[in-house]
Amino acid sequence: MADGAEAKRAVRAANATNATSTRARLAVAGVALAFYALFILRTSFSIGGTRYFVLFEDAMISMRYARHLAAGDGLVWNVGEPPIEGFTNLLWVLWMSVAHTLGLSESKVSLFIMLTGVAILLATGLVVSKIARKIVDAPWVPVAVLAATLFDYPLVFWTLRGMEVGALALFVYTLLWLVLENEDEFSLPRSLLMGALTAGALLIRSDSVVPVGLICLYGFLTCSRRFVFAACIGAFAGTAVGGQTLFRKAYFHESLPNTYFLKLYKISALARIKRGAFVALEVLTMHLAVPVSIVLANLGFDRELLTRSGLEKIAKNKLLRRQVLLGTLFAAQIGYATYVGGDAWEWMLYANRYMCIGMPALIVLVAVVLSQVVASADKESSQLFARRLSIALVGCGLLLVALNVFAKKFPEQGIAATITFSKKAFAIGGALVFAGALLRLRDMREGIAQGLTALRRRVGKQHTVTAAALALMAIVWLPAHLLPFAQWATQNAAQYKDEANYTRLGILIRETTPPELRMAVAAAGATPYFAQRPTEDLLGKNDRHVAKLEPRGVFSPGHDKWDYQYSLGERKSDLIVETVDVNEADDAYISSLGFEKLENGMRLRTSAPVVHRDILGREMTDGATLFTALGELGKSLPAGLLGIDIVMVLAFGLVIGGAFRGIVRDHESFEDLSPIALEEEAPLDDSARAALKGAEARAIPTLDGMRGIAVLLVLMFHFAWTFPGDDGVPATTFIDKIATHVHAFLWSGWTGVDLFFVLSGYLITRGLVTPSKKPLGTRMKSFWMRRVLRIFPLYYAFIIVGTIIGLALGTGWIPGPSYWLYMQNYTLAFDDEVLRWTAHFWSLAIEEQFYFVWPIVALMVSRKKLIPTILVLVPAVVMLRGLLVFKGAQISAVADLLHDTNGIAKFVYRATFTRADGLLLGAFVAVTQREVSHPVSIAWRRLRFPIFVSTAVALAGLYVLAHGLNDYDRRIMGVGYVTLALFFASTISLCADEQIGEKTRAFLSWRPLVACGKVSYGMYIFHWPLVVLLVPRLEKMHVGMPVATQMALDTGVILGCIAIIYVVATISFRFFETPFLKLKGRFHD
């Protein structure tokens, strides 16, 4: 009775904890806040011990106006010159001027804007989650929307880099939320607040009229007091627009901002729409392919909605028309971005500043669609959704491929070319087509149906709802963010290095030139801001004359107009920081003005009043270089940290804390969901029963066949050491081409080692996860003794005999301590002698090190927890390997240790912690084979055949792209290793569960393959010394020998040596290894 009461109390306590989304919101907001802090910190840089924070280029242009305004010089680009409206974000400029008015240090004033961005992002996430709550009843949707919004990389990037995008998004979606509130119950104060928000949005950016107009129109049509609502909105909007227009006419003497003339004046609509459509379609079909496909799949291409009755249905159904509003908002932003020709930074390949405003609408819409799909997750509707999703993904892929074929056929030319062929985009298009085709497989359709059913159960339970919601958002949105997040992780935020360099140049110019020196720039952001010199904007954002010119070259918004005769000649610039697309005539004209090139690429007039020309011309590669130059000049940087800076950070801490608290407190109640309860065991399906049968089998003959394939691949590779076709000379004759292709195939045989890794991980874990009543210590002892009896005798016998022979022959080299301790993989990573007679033992060291550590993990962690443990470890290994391969040379400690890219490749190929993913995936197969009811195991059984097919295609693509699978190729190391491991893991899983066809089973059970598999360890041990003996002799024989004869000779060598090694290994197995193997019976678990 007491135990029962205690259990009930525990259940009630757990239910109380899980009754709201508070914990989930706390975790999501906390991780987001940590990400924002890291983002800001990584985009800062040090100069002489002072940490500088700098914004994106266009944001720094606005900062220059704000600085001048705060100093009392007005909204001007150059102090003392006629004002020009080189900005379209008046309210944001005014906010920036507040930062300057406070007297913050020069290095920290941009931090004020960045911290504003953090508060804006948190507030936007809160508001968007409130909108989701107004559209759908499912309690998991708001927290899912919150997470997707807070981690939407384009929105995070543009906001934290100082652009007005985040502020505008906050105003737009707060307005939308209030409109939906007004639809439910009209309120005059709320309508007045909406009017103020409308005015604010229009003052932040005048082109916000697109989303604001749509939202206000919806509010007018759906509220109960239309004319009062219209009066409130009209009064505020009219005042804002009218007031700004009158001010513009009076102060700037123009009816429109200068950027209008720069980006639209004298530029045909066709040119803009052509570029804008290309950019928009590329983003939709690549960056947003998955979420857009989900929306299209749910629509089901229902033509009825386009009829009169369908429109009436939308008008009468509140939730449906709200969804239509979300879709219209997103589509309108795409349409506007298309009309203006996109943005200038489309090479980033994710949502630009205009599209970004529509992203929260898409996030909510996708979440609402998914809630409907999950709620009706019966088998028939789920499979119908999968088929439609397949069609949509294939459509996105084909369109993306078509765009790049068009760009290949009709490429733009010039420095600002956008319509150009992209291998990355083309490959992603092909991948989307392939992914869509995979969804047509029965396993995938049934897997999606099963997954949606399981998801419906999990979002219906208090203790699993938030985890399921966040996992679903990750599945949907992670593909869209893999590329930008990967670029941020490996290369930092886009243009970060440029902004840091422009900042150093600006400070250098300020300290080496007189205040009246006039300079000309192409990038008008950080350099003019920090230089504080009269500046000519070559690209015309801050110049009336240039903005109203005809465009030059290919259209690129704001980057296709310049006039050197005006900016340099008439305006008498003395210093050119950087030029724009200079041709021979331009270069000759610039030289005729007396400009000379400095060492760092800048150009200075010979008559310019600059004393320290040598220092001005230095390359400012880092902060230390600039600090040294300032020291030579006897100059110092302004104060790096003031008291007001600290006060500012503390104040923003309170504001951000308030937004954080608002997110956490605005939680959803899960009281209507099922409380914690033991779930009924679902009956096992055929695949689960097959997995358990495979787990209980004492032997799996097909795996011996796979071991045979593995060892034959390795021997084929090594005995083909001298095979012709890799001399670096382009193949011209038919025989040479054959030799090149055969060589590429033979030298891909190293993949057999990776197959060994996956097999080893599977086979040893299979035994470790088998149920047993023996104590933990006894089980570990039994495991290690079985491994010792299998591996040590032959290995140490070989080492001892080899050492004796080496001493007898006086070769001068014998195995050191690392070989006796199974650490030789690290020794060999630094060994320059390729044909060392022990060089092949690196893989044995990796396996033995894994055998020592893994049993401790596998036996001490429960099987259910072992699955997520492996799923964390595998990506960690892959990311570490990618970091070393792609960034290792830039990490000083790694570069000092491994010297160059080849040294890094040797180390990565042989280090246990960079090759453990294959062993871990083998272990994963074994654990999922036992833990058949785990959701990951169920998903794995559904996905393993599609994974087998997709990885096979990916490997074939890599083979073609890299002209073979070269083990040291960075593409193979970064992507190929894990792809191979997944391919082999899916193959082993299918074989172990007997889910293969008769022909495949017959092939893998073929007696020669099985025979080689049984003695594969001996074949691996004995083969390499024969390679070492033969290679020098074969190289001498090849001298002067025709390629065809070389091929025939080496083919005979390969076949003959494999036969010899098989005989030697068989003798060793029978007479030397078997007596030790018989002792293993004493240590069976």
When pLDDT is averaged across residues 298-320 and rounded to a whole number, the result is 70
Please give the full DSSP string across 769-837, using - where no structure is assigned.
TS---S-HHHHHHHHHHHHHHHHHHHHHHHHHHHHHHHHHHT-S----HHHHTT-HHHHHTT---TT-T
Residue 13, pLDDT above cutoff 50: no
Beta bridge partners of 603: 576, 597
Burial class (CB in 10 A: 0-12, 13-18, 19+), 850: buried
pLDDT, tens digit, 9 for 90 and up, residues 857-909: 998 888 888 999 999 999 999 999 998 988 888 777 877 787 778 888 899 99
Q: What are phi and psi of 187, to 5 degrees?
A: -145, 130
Spatial distance between the Cα atoms of 24 and 27, rounded to a whole number of angstroms: 5
Spatial distance between the Cα atoms of 637 and 302, rounded to a whole number of angstroms: 65
Give residue 575's pLDDT band: very low, low, confident or very high (50, 70, 90). very high
pLDDT of residue 676: 58
When pLDDT is averaged across residues 1032-1040 and rounded to a whole number, the result is 90
pLDDT, tens digit, 9 for 90 and up, residues 773-795: 788 788 888 888 888 889 999 99
Burial class (CB in 10 A: 0-12, 13-18, 19+), 583: exposed
Give residue 16's pLDDT band: very low, low, confident or very high (50, 70, 90). very low
pLDDT of residue 1: 43
Spatial distance between the Cα atoms of 491 and 481, rounded to a whole number of angstroms: 15
When pLDDT is averaged across residues 590-614 and rounded to a whole number, the result is 93
What does the mean pLDDT of the chain come to? Answer: 90
pLDDT, tens digit, 9 for 90 and up, residues 793-826: 999 999 999 999 888 887 778 888 999 999 999 9
Distance of CA 819 to the CA centre of its chain: 40
Give residue 729's pLDDT band: very low, low, confident or very high (50, 70, 90). low
Neighbour tally for 95: CB within 10 Å: 18
Spatial distance between the Cα atoms of 1081 and 1085, rounded to a whole number of angstroms: 9
Neighbour tally for 51: CB within 10 Å: 15
DSSP 20: B
When pLDDT is averaged across residues 286-294 and rounded to a whole number, the result is 93
- With pLDDT > 70 as the criterion, what percentage of the chain qualifies? 96
pLDDT of residue 300: 60
Report angle CA 784, 789, 794 to the nearest 5 degrees.
Answer: 130
Residue 7, pLDDT above cutoff 50: no
When pLDDT is averaged across residues 587-591 and rounded to a whole number, the result is 94
Helix axis angle, 226-247 to 188-204, nearest 10°:
30
Please give the residue that has the higher pLDDT: either 306 or 140.
Answer: 140
Q: Please tell me the total number of residues recorded for the chain in this structure.
A: 1085
pLDDT of residue 12: 47
pLDDT of residue 725: 84
pLDDT, tens digit, 9 for 90 and up, residues 361-404: 999 999 999 998 888 867 788 888 888 999 999 999 999 999 99
pLDDT of residue 446: 82
Beta carbons of 904 and 924 less than 8 angstroms apart: no
Beta carbons of 574 and 568 less than 8 angstroms apart: no
- Give the three-class secondary structure for 461: strand
Beta carbons of 971 and 962 less than 8 angstroms apart: yes
Strands 603-605 and 575-576: antiparallel
DSSP 679: P
Q: What are phi and psi of 47, to 5 degrees?
A: -130, 110
* Identity of residue 3: D
pLDDT, tens digit, 9 for 90 and up, residues 100-156: 999 999 999 999 999 999 999 999 999 999 999 999 989 999 999 999 999 999 999
pLDDT, tens digit, 9 for 90 and up, residues 964-1012: 888 888 889 988 999 999 999 999 999 999 999 899 999 999 999 999 9
- Gyration radius from the chain CA atoms: 34
Strands 595-597 and 603-605: antiparallel
